[in-house]
Amino acid sequence: MKEKIATRIIIQGIIQVVSALSYYFLLKNLAVEYIGIQGTVATAINLFSAIYFIGIDVVYLQYNNENDFKDYFSNYMIIKLFLLLLNFVPLVFYVIFFGSPDNVYFFIMIIATIFLRIADTFCLNLRANLKIIKGEIIEFISTLMLSITRLIIALFASRFTNPLLILGLTTLFFYLLKLISSFLISKPDLSFTKPQKERIFTLLKAT
């Protein structure tokens, strides 16, 4: 257990350092207008994604410790997908009423964030099944590759016609890659049973 905790701390530390470096060079080398667009889009998505983190993950992990996790995964997934949809409905109205400095990049990042949130659900399920390191490795590889790509884009930003579009597409690609890999690795332990109202309400009440 101590080895797993130490490994997780090291992995998280490397992720934080590499991510910080990539953002530093991104802000340093991108043109001011691109930084403004990137900041606006990130703020909007993070603002409306706040409802996504309301404690359902903690409740799901708690119930998995007390029950068979396969009995609750489908119900948990239904709740997460509903919350995910609920998050991005306001974003549509945000774009309609306030507009976006770059609609293409905006919607690319919305789709990328959806991929990321679903991937995080599968990674959480790995942790719930005590396969913590597998979940951390997926997080490590996807974040590391994305950060390195961001770093390359930042260093050679002047050579791209629209570096922000390239940044959005690479983010979309790596989040999709994380979604696919997390699903395939967790697939043997998944059980997509028919969701039950009682268990859905049980999870919601405990949140």
How is the chain split into domains, by residue range? 2-206
Contacts of 80-88 with CB under 8 Å at 24 or more apart are 80/56, 80/117, 80/118, 80/121, 81/118, 83/51, 83/52, 83/54, 83/56, 84/52, 84/114, 84/117, 84/118, 86/51, 87/48, 87/49, 87/51, 87/52, 88/48, 88/114
CA 200 from centre of chain = 23
Question: Tens-digit pLDDT profile for the chain (207 aa)?
Answer: 555 566 667 777 777 777 777 777 777 766 656 666 666 666 666 665 555 555 677 777 776 655 555 667 777 778 788 877 777 777 777 777 766 666 788 888 888 888 888 888 888 777 766 566 677 778 778 888 888 888 888 788 778 888 888 888 998 999 999 999 888 888 777 766 676 666 666 666 655
Q: What is the pLDDT of residue 202?
A: 66
Q: What is the pLDDT of residue 172?
A: 92
